[in-house]
Amino acid sequence: MARIEILAEKLFRWEGRFVDNPADKGGATNRGVTIATWQSMGFDKDGDGDIDREDIRLLSQDDCLEVLRHFYWDRWRADEIKNQAIANMLVDWLWLSGMWGIIIPQRLLQVADDGIAGPVTITTLNRVNPGEFLIRVYKARLAFIRNIIRNDPSQKVFEKGWINRLNDFI
């Protein structure tokens, strides 16, 4: 079964410390955790009564690992995925793109594309040829990236990084 520690090591190599790039629609992030995601955790790191960019600045790697586990790893039920490379690829897609990181893989698996990794999704996923499925997911993620940029050319600034990251997960 897949292990979050293996994904975390890889994922956090791609995620920098605190950044606040005006082109990034997620706003200020730390190790890839956005303000909106951290607000969902509900923890005021600096104790000033609100959860804002200063709280994001204070996030530790352990904080970010907890976010990864709670909102992404567990949402994909990745502990139940037999192949580590598939778990890595799918959870990373969810981390970067929200629900599309479940819905599009569900379409590839030809199961209900409801954005919920339930027992049918996991069972079907564990029965696929891992190498073939990884290639299909890779192609779908690449098309997804290109579609983002086509729909919003301001995101082209991230294209090289997104594709390099995707290549690392294949």
**Which structural domains are found in the chain, ordered by start?**
4-169 (1.20.141.10)
Neighbours of 165 (CB within 10 A): 19
Q: What is the pTM of this model?
A: 0.88
pLDDT band, very low/low/confident/very high, at 76 (cuts 50, 70, 90): very high
Neighbours of 78 (CB within 10 A): 25
What's the rounded mean pLDDT across residues 138-143? 96
For residue 38, list its beta bridge partners.
none
Instruction: Pull the structure tokens for residue 70.
Output: 């709670």
Q: Which of 11 and 142 is assigned the larger pLDDT?
A: 142
Sign of the Cα torsion 97, 100, 104, 110 reads: positive
Cα(113)–Cα(106) distance, rounded to whole angstroms?
Answer: 5
pLDDT of residue 45: 80
Cα 59 from chain centre = 18
Least confident range from 44-48, 77-81, 119-123, 134-138: namely 44-48
- Has residue 25 got a pLDDT over 90? no
